Structure 1
Amino acid sequence: MVYFKWAFLGTFWLIVAAFFHYTLPQHDVVRIVNTYEERQELNDWTRMFWATPDDQSVELINRDVQFIQAVRPNGDAIVYRNEDTGWGWPPYFKFDTANLYTEANDAISTKAAPEWVKVRHYGWRNEFLSIFPNAVSIKPVAGPDVTIIPWLNIVILTIFFALVWAIWVRWRRFRRNRIDPLLEDFEDSYDAASDSIAEKRGRLGRWLGSWKSKK
């Protein structure tokens, strides 16, 4: 029972961590090297990782998607998709895909004369599943070593864990005041009933023993 409890809690918090890691905004300092548009197949098991800004896209099996190619300061490549989120989830309310595509093209630079930008995005990059993080905004920065503090993430996570703490404290208080007394009363009643049954069995045994002795 204890093993099941810890396995359940571990699975629950793993799902919560994955949800926040995918949904909350992340920031990369990169150098944009290219932009392009490509038709993507929307598989049933990877469709969740692509935006669905309109009802028509739910029925489509493929569509044209804009991409932004970039390079990190350490030389690693990263590719972002550029899709509107609309009024759907995650709630970024992104409607400026065309403008962002223009900004990305304007920020293209070479290794000899790099221009560094901060790309705000959400989602994951996975080559095996062919999924890409979705770029939300692009802002110029002074250089590749700029420090970015994720204030929004800090605020959201602080509020979330404060709510979890408040719920946990109230649950502990409710259990101590309401559930534990009921369990104790049940245990006392069970013990009393067990003692009564044992006493009756003892009397029956003594009565049967008296008849055996008479025989």
Structure 2
Amino acid sequence: MRWFLTVLGVIFAVVVFLFLDYSLPSKQTVRITNTYNRLTDIGANAIFYASPDAGTVQNTQGQRDVRFIETVRPNGRPFVYRNEDTGWIWPPYFKYDSSNLHAQATDLRSTSADPRWVSVTSYGWRVSWLSIYPNAIAIKPVAGPDVRPFNWAAQIILLILGALLFLIWRMWNQFRERTIDPAVRSADEAWDRLDARADAARDHIATETAEARGRVRRWWDGIRGR
């Protein structure tokens, strides 16, 4: 049973980590190279795109016109963002300005000869073989490729979640100390009393049996004249 609970706890921790890793905002310093719209096939990966009621239109072939932002990291590796409104779906970023963000990204495009570095705030993962892209939330110009703005939003959310978990843990401990532990002790004491009664009854039966055997033996010996 212990190993089952351990495995269950590990699985739960991994799920929570992946959920937070996908949902929390992240910041990356990049250089924007291109912005464009593309008719994109939405299929099994639809969960990683905005819902149709968030301002996007999907045709009968399962295709959607999605805005993309192409960037290059300081190490030269490319990185692509999508730019979709989130609406009221999860995660709750309430983004409705994808058109404005697209215009801003287009205005901040640059070349390697004359780079302009920006910090892009986004959520989600980039998985090439599944055509999954992080969704850009905000773009802010920075002084250079070495600038790494502190991710205040993610840190504050993690602190709030940590405080909530601590509060839940304290409430559980108090509930266990006030309710569960006394009930367990009462059950243990009741079991001990029951066990003691069973032992006493067993001893009493053994004593009565021995006395009965003694009386029968004396009676039999009396009949035989011993």
Shifted more, 34-43 versus 117-126: the winner is: 34-43
The 3-state SS of whatever aligns with 2:202 is helix
In 1: Cα distance, 2:173 partner to 2:4 partner: 20
Query: After superposition, where does 1:103-142 map in structure 2 within 5 Å?
Result: 103-142=104-143
Question: In structure 2, the residue corresponding to 1:121 is in which secondary structure?
Answer: strand
Please state whether the residue corresponding to 1:54 is helix, strand or coil.
helix
Aligned to 1:20: 20
Structure 2: segments with no counterpart, 5+ residues: 218-226
Measure the CA separation in 2 of the matches of 1:116 and 1:89: 29
Report the alpha carbon displacement of residue 210 of structure 1 after superposing the two structures with TM. 4.1
8 Å CA contact 2:29, 2:148 repeated in 1: no
Partner of 2:65: 64
Which amino acid in 1 is paired with 2:80?
Answer: V
For 1:127 and 1:4, locate their aligned partners in 2 and report how far apart those are by CA, in whole Å: 35
Q: Which residue of the partner structure matches residue 192 of structure 1? A: 193
Alpha-carbon RMSD across the aligned residues, in angstroms, is 2.1
Q: Which residue of 1 aligns with 2:51?
A: 52
Q: Which runs of 5+ in 1 are unaligned?
A: none
Decide which structure has the larger Cα Rg and report it.
2
Give the paired residue count. 214
Q: Displacement, 1:164?
A: 0.9
TM-score, normalisation: structure 1: 0.90
Between 1:201-210 and 1:26-35, the stretch displaced more is 201-210
Contact 1:53 1:87 (8 Å CA) reproduced: no
Is the counterpart of residue 151 in structure 1 residue 152 in structure 2?
A: yes
Q: What does residue 78 of structure 1 align with?
A: 79
Query: 1:3 is matched with which residue?
Result: 3
Structure 1 SS opposite 2:129: coil
Distance between the aligned counterparts of 2:112 and 2:58, measured in 1? 40
Superposed displacement of residue 8, structure 1: 2.7
The CA deviation at 1:204 is: 2.3
Q: Identical aligned pairs, as a percentage?
A: 42
Q: Residues 89-104 of structure 1: matches in 2 within 5 Å?
A: 89-104=90-105
CA pair 75-84 structure 1, distance change in 2 beyond 3 A: same
Q: String of CA shifts for 1:62-109, please: whole Å, max 9, x gaps.
A: 212111111000011111011111122211111112222222222221
